[in-house]
Structure 1
Amino acid sequence: MASQVSDEILPSPGNISPNSPTNSAGQIPLEQPPKLKGRQKLLQSLQRMSSSPTLTRRGRSSSTTSYRRDNKASLSCVSLSSTSYSPCLGNGSSSQLYGGLNPRPATPGCSGSPGEPQGTNARIRLMDTDGPGFTTPRTVPLPSDVRPASRGSPRTATPVGVKVEKEVITPESQPARTLDFWGDMPQELKIEIFQYLTPQEIVCCSSVSKTWNEMCYDGQLWSKVDTTEYYSKIPSDVLVKLITCGGPFVRDLNLRGCVQMREKWSTDGERISDLCRNVVKFSLEGCRINKASIYSFLLRNSRLEYINLSGLPSVTNSAMKVIARSCPQLETLNVSWCNHVDTTGLLRIVQSCERLKDLRASEIRGFKDEKFTLALFKRNTLDRLIMSRTDLTDNSLKMLIHGENPNMDILTDRPIVPPRKFRHLDLHQCPEVSDDGLKSLAHNVPDLEGLQISQCSDLTDESVMDVISTTPKLSHLELEDLENLTNITLVQLAESPCARNLEHLNISYCESLSDTGMLRVMKNCPKLQSVEMDNTRVSDLTLMEASFRIRRRGYSDELPKVGLRLMIFDCANVTWAGVREVLSSNAYIPRASRKPVSTVVTVTQTPDAGSSPETSTFVTPASSPSPSPAPTYANEIIQLKCFYGWQMTVDEHTKRVLRGDLAAASRLDRKWAEYMIATEEAGAAGAGARRRRRRAREAERLYNEDEDENDAYGVGSISALGGRRRRAQSGSSCIVM
């Protein structure tokens, strides 16, 4: 078996000079071959001819086979008779690519023909590759430095030792770009940022630059123009500019109290009406505006849902006619205190505006007209109806609730009508309403949440109790100045289904009401937030019950908040002791939540008359605190409005409790109590008057003095034993201070 060998390149003697000339093909040969003559030159030419690839394309056989023509041998057969010759190494281009290397056939035992000169150039010799198992390819690849860069054009190798200088082309230096954060920001983001500013801040920013001025008066920022907070500070020119810049973007226009616009409505009213055509909420309460501007604005805004024209003398029934014709989507209308409007104009609105839910018409004439109340009955879409200070009568109120000639239930003797959708009904100061008219509300307003029947002097317990017992959702009840009301109404209120939802109660100037009814109300109404009891017969018992109910709402680590507001002006039975009970309850902490306090006991003993006294001090250590933090503040406290002479002390005490300074609040409570006691003693007659007056002055001095150190009294008017050390002065006794 022939041994497996690989191709081998025999190096030629000598080194190649870097300055060697190149051949005609542009290649650098390893060594200049000698010029051949005679037979050798002829054989080399024949070898090139026989190895040419054109012979294959012409159908001629390869030079490695025995080539015969007419049974005669040719010269090419003589030079290519070896069977181990490879055509790929003997083609005409091999000598050119290899720079003069002679790719002649060779055998392992012979390095060349006998006639060739030895050592003239390097040769490529093929080793034995005909043996079995040979896997090495029989072709030799071109060196990487002479491979052609493209088809048909070989790449010239760089001679060894020659340095090639490369020209580096650097781009022209450009100035560093500065980041303009605000300038590169999209316009939409800028507008979004400006929307977080208040109107006053936006107007101030408009003076920064011309660009900012354009952005600040962009219409997207003024979709809501509400001048409630700055109506007295903004000039009329700036206000007109805001409205006109907003233009079609304005949807909420509230000009309440802008009296400075009086002249602008005459000059720019038409332009404002032309630009603002998409307004949904419109309020002119307290403004000075002419009729033409009102009519022009109402005619051009058919999408109005909320209109507030209260207190405008220029609003008449003609304006109501315009609203009824051009504002079909109206839901809320406020025409209170418009002296030139009556129910004749409101009737057109009720008949035309099918979505009307809120009608506020205080001090409007014509509510005794049953035709108007019958139209309200047929509409039955109102959630809120305000008819205070009107000429409403019992018959018109019955027409509003029962309609005209309703069918009667035989068993209950009540009219069979659909229930009304009223949630808030205001009938206060309607002097012509009596029990007969108010009873019509019973069983017909199940969704009623707010009822105001104050100053209806003819109402009694009978009608009020019927309404209270049939309105389970009632949360606000106004019963002010009902002289005929008694404690029976309060007891019925505490037992009615609405007691668990009641939040606001007003019984001021009901002089017949006392603790009998209010104690039941305080006990059975857990959600009470406001109680007005001016000029009633309630006493300190009601305040104590209210304090107890507020304490039951719990304690926590968070600062307290106001949970109940009590008004007890001019209540003859309320004393400073009841007020102090409320203050002490606000600063009260449960016993388990108090901080441990060390008790200091000083004992002075005198055994004999001639011996010196002996003093002993005992300190009781504080108990160890509980592992879990206990609550320290009440969840809710009482805010009290009382006699004006006590109000400053009450307000200061409430401020200290709300900020969590319970020790300071307790100290103020104690000093105020000492001052009140001394004042009462100073006013008493009899023996010791001078001594009591002196003690009163001393108590007043201590009350006015603001001590910063913490005293021995605990929080919530509970004093600890000991505290500040005091030395007892006694002859032969033992006194524990």
Structure 2
Amino acid sequence: MTSSMPDEILPATTASPASPASADGQIPLEQPPKLKGRQRLLQNLQRMSSSPTLTRRGRSASTGYRRDHKASLSCVSLSSAAYSPCLGNGSASQLYGGLHPGPPTPGSIGPLEEVDDNNARIRLVETESSNVSRSVPVPLEFRPNSPGTGTPVEEIAEEDATASAATSEIQPILPDHNPSRKIDFWGDMPRELQVQILRYLTPRQVVRCSVVSKRWHEMCFDGQLWSRLDASEYYSKIPSDVLIKLVISGGPFMRDLNLRGCIQLSNKWSTHGERMSDACRNLVNLSLNDSVIDKPSVHHFLTRNPRLEYLNISGLKSVTNSAMKSISQSCPQLSCLDVSWCINVTAHGLVCVAKSCNQLGDLRASGIRGFDDDSVARALFEQNALERLIMSRTDLTDETLKVLMHGAEPTIDVLTDRPIVPPRRLKHLDLHRCAEITDRGLKSLAFNVPDLESLQISQCPELTDASVIDVVRTTPRLSHLELEDLESLTNNALVELAKSPAAECLEHLNISYCENLGDPGMLQVMKHCPRLRSVEMDNTRVSDLTLMEASFRVRKRGYGEKLPEIGLRLVIFDCTNVTWAGVKEVLSSNAYIPRARKAAFKPVVTVAPAGSDTESVATTPCMTPTSATPSPASVYPSEIIYLKSFYGWQPTVEEHTKRVLRGDLNAASRLDRKWADYMMATEEAGATGAGARRRRRRAREAERLYNADGDDEDSYGVGGVTAIGGRRRRAQSGGCTVM
């Protein structure tokens, strides 16, 4: 052990007697040499250094190599069967008496041969400046081929030799992707995405999907899907058990619950009512109208949902004044309350609601009794938050209405003789069929409701022109006015309506069964109300003049390339002064295109001179140089009139309207002419003494056809003749067509 190590390993010329070599000078792997002496001692030292007992003793880490270029024992201990020899330089062969146990590697100096036993000590063969790779090879278990595949030692050694010397971190190689593995698209999707996809289905489709599997059943009854449950669309097709399960599944997620008409729950409220109300504690909108529910269940829903903003319990017999008390105590954020036709609720129960719910802006109390007491009116006046008030078919009196508008004891202005009170915020007021309302009570609305948009005072027999005129003059935003069955109303009210600021905003007018109203008032309304969309005037004295004026005003709304739309609806049932000629005027106006518009789209035929080889060519009218785009192929009225007339004429009117709406104006005109011929033939055959009337009508029709190409800005008819009688217009040729 004290002898000095030689400077280099000299190749041996002969094999050791103790270790017979093969013919090429290498020792076979299957017959390891039997070591003796010094080699046996070094082998024992290698086994001892590889023992984990050295680690437990706290032995310091090896430094690799010493300054005298001699290897340490720790380096010898790292050599194992799973790894290549330390440093991959073949120095481990010195531990076996100069014989390498394996085949030579590309990184080694050459084939290792037998070395003299006396010099079999550990020494550094290569220096630091050599290009031999010193990286640790990848273990076999992390290589692409599994250990059991039998990778040859030569291939492993070749891969280790080609590894990069700069690689400092070894990444394990993942196994190849198995193409035979099936992808479960729906199963691998997150639960949140699955629920979001199911939101696009209707409730009926979601319930049907719940029978696919147990997992789908749990997912379809997830509370996140039922934050809004509107059973009014399928209330007659869903069983009570499924409906109860949906309500309970929604639970704290549910915000909107509509059980309108769900009478199948009538026998379930006593057993499941408390459970359903206990699950739904975060409701914002609740609708129970037209259903059968017991009183305790209503109480549970009201007391356990303090966030309620919209509540519809109209028509429920189980709702009483005690329910109104529960609302006032548990629902301070209520903004809309509908208790119409609750026969067990009186105005006295609404007082506590009006006092406690400061945000109440919509109160619907049709059919409620007890409004002859002004206590509710005082509470609503003090809050001044109402925007919609519906008190139709109640016992409302003039005194209650005045308290609602002016308060109990208002201060009177000495100059205007009007009470000095803040204006009301009302936008919609419904007082129809309040028989006790008179002009004295309705006049209290004047100058106090400047934001009023809708007023319904139909079937109030005591109202006259005086109160109606005062209201329409002081409501500049009025767009819907219901004056049905006011027998004392005259044309003066309509004339004042046409002069008032509300004429520019008026869209809907109902004067049905007002038998004193006729053309003098309606003609002014048609002229000065350009935004009219609906007029109901059945059982009045209006005549064909009103229909002609309406047709002319609708034609003024223009023409375009798009298909027509319904712009005005007229209802003229049982109007004795309206004849089929007036109905025909409306139909003709719907399919009428002015001649100036037709000329822009009518092709012009140019005739070639005689003897020339050119043929006649159809061209469009001459365009000015400034026109950039060609004219469209067709033009239609922008808006038309939809007419509801006598039931015997209505089928023809409906068919004519369908043809116009689909753009077939020629077919509509043919139907119009044939219907006119039929009506004239019917009158000639069955009417007695109708000769003069027939001659006048035929003369008027002939004159209309003669002047059809005259003026498109006529006042009444489609032609150039007014209903009262107008001047004759010259026919125009349309200009020269030959260039």
Unaligned runs of 5+ in 1: 1-22, 29-53, 55-96, 100-141, 152-163, 600-618, 689-715, 719-737
Q: Are the structure 2 counterparts of residues 173 and 280 from structure 1 closer, same or farther at C-alpha, using a change threshold of 3 Å?
A: closer
Amino acid at match of 2:9: S
Kindly report which structure 2 residues correspond to 1:217-256, keeping only aligned pairs within 5 A, or say none: 217-256=221-260
- 1:662 and 2:665 are equivalent in the alignment: yes
- 1:374 and 2:359 are equivalent in the alignment: no
Indicate the residue corresponding to 1:570 in structure 2: 574
**Shift, 1:621, TM fit:** 8.7
Separation in structure 2 between the aligned mates of residue 467 and residue 653 of structure 1, nearest angstrom: 40
2:384/2:424 contact within 8 Å kept = yes
SS at 2:229 equivalent: strand
- The counterpart of 1:329, out of the listed 329, 333, 339, is 333
Deviations 1:157-214 (A, max 9, x none): xxxxxxx963699968845332222222211111111111221222222222322222
- The counterpart of 2:323, out of the listed 319, 323, 326, is 319
SS at 2:266 equivalent: helix
Indicate the residue corresponding to 1:209 in structure 2: 213
**Shift, 1:327, TM fit:** 0.7
Separation in structure 1 between the aligned mates of residue 689 and residue 448 of structure 2, nearest angstrom: 65
**Shift, 1:222, TM fit:** 0.8
Indicate the residue corresponding to 1:649 in structure 2: 652
**Shift, 1:149, TM fit:** 3.5
Indicate the residue corresponding to 2:114 in structure 1: none
Amino acid at match of 1:638: I
Separation in structure 2 between the aligned mates of residue 496 and residue 26 of structure 1, nearest angstrom: 125
Indicate the residue corresponding to 2:534 in structure 1: 530
Q: Are the structure 2 counterparts of residues 327 and 516 from structure 1 closer, same or farther at C-alpha, using a change threshold of 3 Å?
A: same
Separation in structure 1 between the aligned mates of residue 571 and residue 520 of structure 2, nearest angstrom: 18
**Shift, 1:717, TM fit:** 8.7
Kindly report which structure 2 residues correspond to 1:624-635, keeping only aligned pairs within 5 A, or say none: 624-625=620-621, 628-630=630-632, 632-635=635-638
Separation in structure 2 between the aligned mates of residue 25 and residue 368 of structure 1, nearest angstrom: 129
Q: What TM-score does the superposition give when structure 1 sets the normalisation length? A: 0.68
Kindly report which structure 2 residues correspond to 1:26-425, keeping only aligned pairs within 5 A, or say none: 147-150=131-134, 166=155, 174=178, 176-425=180-429
Which of 195-204 and 487-496 deviates more?
195-204
- The counterpart of 2:602, out of the listed 591, 596, 601, is 596
2:604/2:620 contact within 8 Å kept = no
Amino acid at match of 2:228: K
Amino acid at match of 1:166: E
- 1:438 and 2:473 are equivalent in the alignment: no
1:565/1:638 contact within 8 Å kept = yes
Q: Are the structure 2 counterparts of residues 147 and 405 from structure 1 closer, same or farther at C-alpha, using a change threshold of 3 Å?
A: closer
Q: Are the structure 2 counterparts of residues 659 and 210 from structure 1 closer, same or farther at C-alpha, using a change threshold of 3 Å?
A: farther
Amino acid at match of 1:596: K
- 1:516 and 2:549 are equivalent in the alignment: no
Deviations 1:582-611 (A, max 9, x none): 112222223244353789xxxxxxxxxxxx
**Shift, 1:654, TM fit:** 1.4
Deviations 1:644-698 (A, max 9, x none): 111111112212222222222222222222211111111134899xxxxxxxxxx
Separation in structure 2 between the aligned mates of residue 27 and residue 468 of structure 1, nearest angstrom: 128
**Shift, 1:564, TM fit:** 1.0
2:314/2:342 contact within 8 Å kept = yes
**Shift, 1:629, TM fit:** 1.9
SS at 1:374 equivalent: helix
2:338/2:364 contact within 8 Å kept = yes
How many residues of Structure 1 are paired with residues of Structure 2 in the alignment?
A: 534
SS at 1:253 equivalent: strand
Separation in structure 1 between the aligned mates of residue 331 and residue 689 of structure 2, nearest angstrom: 79
Q: Are the structure 2 counterparts of residues 179 and 342 from structure 1 closer, same or farther at C-alpha, using a change threshold of 3 Å?
A: same
1:670/1:717 contact within 8 Å kept = no
Separation in structure 1 between the aligned mates of residue 237 and residue 487 of structure 2, nearest angstrom: 45
2:354/2:360 contact within 8 Å kept = yes
Deviations 1:509-551 (A, max 9, x none): 0011111111111111111111100100111111111111111
Separation in structure 1 between the aligned mates of residue 395 and residue 687 of structure 2, nearest angstrom: 54
Kindly report which structure 2 residues correspond to 1:481-560, keeping only aligned pairs within 5 A, or say none: 481-560=485-564
Indicate the residue corresponding to 1:465 in structure 2: 469
Separation in structure 2 between the aligned mates of residue 717 and residue 409 of structure 1, nearest angstrom: 55
Q: Are the structure 2 counterparts of residues 166 and 435 from structure 1 closer, same or farther at C-alpha, using a change threshold of 3 Å?
A: same
Separation in structure 1 between the aligned mates of residue 424 and residue 689 of structure 2, nearest angstrom: 68
Separation in structure 2 between the aligned mates of residue 147 and residue 290 of structure 1, nearest angstrom: 95
Which of 338-347 and 231-240 deviates more?
231-240
2:603/2:621 contact within 8 Å kept = no
Which of these two proteins has the greater Rg computed from alpha carbons? 1
SS at 1:228 equivalent: helix
SS at 2:649 equivalent: helix
**Shift, 1:490, TM fit:** 0.5
Separation in structure 1 between the aligned mates of residue 354 and residue 442 of structure 2, nearest angstrom: 23
Unaligned runs of 5+ in 2: 1-7, 14-66, 68-108, 112-125, 136-152, 160-172, 606-614, 624-629, 692-716, 720-739
Indicate the residue corresponding to 2:9 in structure 1: 24
Separation in structure 2 between the aligned mates of residue 172 and residue 450 of structure 1, nearest angstrom: 74
Say what the alpha-carbon RMSD is for the aligned residues: 3.3
Separation in structure 2 between the aligned mates of residue 513 and residue 417 of structure 1, nearest angstrom: 36
Q: Are the structure 2 counterparts of residues 98 and 641 from structure 1 closer, same or farther at C-alpha, using a change threshold of 3 Å?
A: closer
Amino acid at match of 2:642: Q
**Shift, 1:228, TM fit:** 2.2
Deviations 1:118-140 (A, max 9, x none): xxxxxxxxxxxxxxxxxxxxxxx
Separation in structure 2 between the aligned mates of residue 298 and residue 172 of structure 1, nearest angstrom: 63
